[in-house]
Structure 1
Amino acid sequence: MFRQLSYRFNWRNLLYAVIGLLVLAASVLLMSFIGTKSSEQGCAGVRVIVLGNESFIEQKDITSLLVEKYGQLEGRTLESIPIHEMESDLRQIPFVFSAIVTIDMDGLLTVRVKQREAVVRVINEKGVDFYIDMQGHKMPVSLKYVPHVPVVNGHINEPYNGSLDSIESQLVKDIFKTAQFISDDSVWNSQVVQLYVNKEQDIELVPRVGNQQIILGNADSLNRKFEKLKMFYTKIVPKTGIGAYKSVNLKFAGQIVCERSEKFKPGDFIIQDSIQQNRSNNTQ
């Protein structure tokens, strides 16, 4: 009986070993076949997909760039197409945020490019203009596409060399932060049409309605400052009219400083914001 069990057991192990060898041999043959097919297979076509809300670059721009450097891709063997080098070249375009090149089993080469998104257009004091993208990088303007973003000019001493670059000055960092805040709020995005930097390096808001000089200062406490601006429009303007004040200063903590226009008297008018008012009431 012992000999019979041992005999059966040995045959079973042998059967498993044979099956394993057959599977391994089949896998090697299959991989060899796939490798041979891939090395000999030609590119069946090129598909370019441009992602993003902007139109700085188009499909034809990407196709022209690839053909100019790598020649005609369709018909070439897949192994001769340097997809990683292509990705690196596409990322060098200042309007491109990311680039991925893939080839499927049918030989179709797909290029996916995601564009950078502009937040604000800056014109420095020398007249050189550039955009700042969502990641806070300076990028060039385009001759064929103008995104709908705020423009800021004035006393801005930020250099730009025409390529993708990082922000140097705190002022432009504050401009970027302010522009982001405005673009994220539908009301302020509609009301604020432009930014300006005065001689004191204060950021000013240019409103769509009214001609007041709205002095924001820097980008600190933006929520508080825009709450005070909202108070100006909802509590002061209904009582005095939109043209009663020539300037609204939001720089100072706890108050709005409104300077009346020469057509109105008396002179300066100061109102505490709601937060400061509540604190005063609680201490009484």
Structure 2
Amino acid sequence: MLKKINWRAILFGFLWLISLSGLITLMSFIEIKKSALKCKDVKVLLPGQFNFIERDEVDRILMENGGAMLGKDLNDINIHKLENALKANPFIEFAKVYADMTGVIHVQIRQREPVLRVVNMANLHFYIDGNGNKIPLSDNYTAKVLVASGLIEEDFSGRVDTLKTKMARDLFRTALFIRSDTLWDNQIEQLFVDLKGDIEMVPRVGGHKIILGSADSLQIKFRNLLVFYKKAIPKVGWDTYKTINLKYANQIVCEKNIIDSTKITIDINKQIADSTITETQN
């Protein structure tokens, strides 16, 4: 008994074969046309608010790794070598190089964006970018970001690297949180690690320091600080307290800015519940 012929499968296979042949022919045509093209122009796209690397530096990297490209056959230009050379720069996070069918070479670059400048115990300076990588300072540009100093053991070899210590990761998380909120980004100007290993924050407004402790429960700690700013500061003024301690759960412990350093404890739970503030003298 003869089997029924699956004409649908045969037709599908035939169409697939035609499509594949057409694709191969098109790719061959493109390669032939590309081989006859010469580089007419090099267009560099270097967006971003940071200027760690400028167009002159990009042109220098391209020249060192590709020579004078204008008028050169596209097939003689090693695109991958140019890309890798750009990616080797510590200030470049992403680089893509490609040539179009008109003979123009396009160079797309994305610079690293720092969120924190660190001064460690050995007085080594470096940035931490938005991906949590350590990067060196730049001779071309100084980023206006938070500065962290004090008891910071995180080392830096001068090359792009990941964070090795918990303290450095806590500082990075804190800087990201502050940067994400306009209020705190405007209010907090410096981080400091004290001898106890606590993160302290230096505000732009007010003569106090804010003891954060670690980067745990950042949302709760900053929410409590906001309640304190809204409810307590209008009553006592910005310069009443020497320290505002956020380390403890659901409370803020404040130290008055007077000779006897009287301590005040404020119960945050009640503040949040009924929008009132009570102070108890220790």
- Partner in structure 2 of residue 38 of structure 1: 34
Query: How far is 1:186 from its partner?
Result: 0.4
Query: How far is 1:31 from its partner?
Result: 6.1
Identity %: 41
- Partner in structure 2 of residue 272 of structure 1: 267
Q: Which one is further off, 254-263 or 128-137?
A: 254-263
Query: How far is 1:71 from its partner?
Result: 1.0
Identify if the C-alpha distance between structure 1 residues 122 and 266 changes in structure 2 by more than 3 Å, giving closer, same or farther: closer
Task: Determine which of 149, 157, 160 is the counterpart of 1:161.
Answer: 157
- Partner in structure 1 of residue 212 of structure 2: 216
Aligned to 1:238, what secondary structure does the other structure show?
helix
Amino acid aligned to 1:194: Q
Identify if the C-alpha distance between structure 1 residues 189 and 32 changes in structure 2 by more than 3 Å, giving closer, same or farther: closer
CA displacement, residues 39-73 of structure 1 (integer Å, 9 cap, x when unaligned): 23211111111122211111221111110222101
- Please identify the structure whose Cα radius of gyration is greater: 1
1:72 equivalent to 2:68? Answer yes
Identify if the C-alpha distance between structure 1 residues 238 and 74 changes in structure 2 by more than 3 Å, giving closer, same or farther: same
2: CA distance, partners of 1:36 / 1:186: 55
- Partner in structure 2 of residue 206 of structure 1: 202
2: CA distance, partners of 1:87 / 1:49: 14
Task: Determine which of 48, 63, 72 is the counterpart of 1:52.
Answer: 48
2: CA distance, partners of 1:54 / 1:215: 31
CA displacement, residues 74-95 of structure 1 (integer Å, 9 cap, x when unaligned): 1111111111121111111111
- Partner in structure 2 of residue 6 of structure 1: none
Q: Is 1:49–1:59's contact at 8 Å kept on the other side of the alignment?
A: no
Q: Is 1:73–1:81's contact at 8 Å kept on the other side of the alignment?
A: yes
Task: Determine which of 102, 108, 112 is the counterpart of 2:104.
Answer: 108
Aligned to 2:122, what secondary structure does the other structure show?
coil
2: CA distance, partners of 1:31 / 1:267: 80
- Partner in structure 1 of residue 95 of structure 2: 99
2: CA distance, partners of 1:31 / 1:136: 41
Amino acid aligned to 1:230: L
Identify if the C-alpha distance between structure 1 residues 32 and 157 changes in structure 2 by more than 3 Å, giving closer, same or farther: closer
Q: Which one is further off, 135-144 or 37-46?
A: 37-46
CA displacement, residues 128-166 of structure 1 (integer Å, 9 cap, x when unaligned): 111111111001111221112111111111100111000
Give the TM-score taking structure 1 as reference length.
0.84
Higher helix proportion (structure 1 or 2):
1
- Partner in structure 1 of residue 233 of structure 2: 237
How many equivalent pairs are there? 255
Aligned to 1:51, what secondary structure does the other structure show?
coil
- Partner in structure 1 of residue 7 of structure 2: none
Amino acid aligned to 1:128: L
CA displacement, residues 200-246 of structure 1 (integer Å, 9 cap, x when unaligned): 11111101011212100000011111112112211222222222111
Q: Is 1:52–1:116's contact at 8 Å kept on the other side of the alignment?
A: no
Give the TM-score taking structure 2 as reference length.
0.84
Q: Is 2:150–2:193's contact at 8 Å kept on the other side of the alignment?
A: yes
Extract unaligned runs of 5+ from structure 2.
1-17, 275-282
Identify if the C-alpha distance between structure 1 residues 31 and 192 changes in structure 2 by more than 3 Å, giving closer, same or farther: closer
CA displacement, residues 3-31 of structure 1 (integer Å, 9 cap, x when unaligned): xxxxxxxxxxxxxxxxxx9xx89x95x76
Aligned to 2:153, what secondary structure does the other structure show?
coil
Aligned to 2:227, what secondary structure does the other structure show?
helix
2: CA distance, partners of 1:37 / 1:233: 68
Query: How far is 1:36 from its partner?
Result: 3.2
Query: How far is 1:278 from its partner?
Result: 4.1
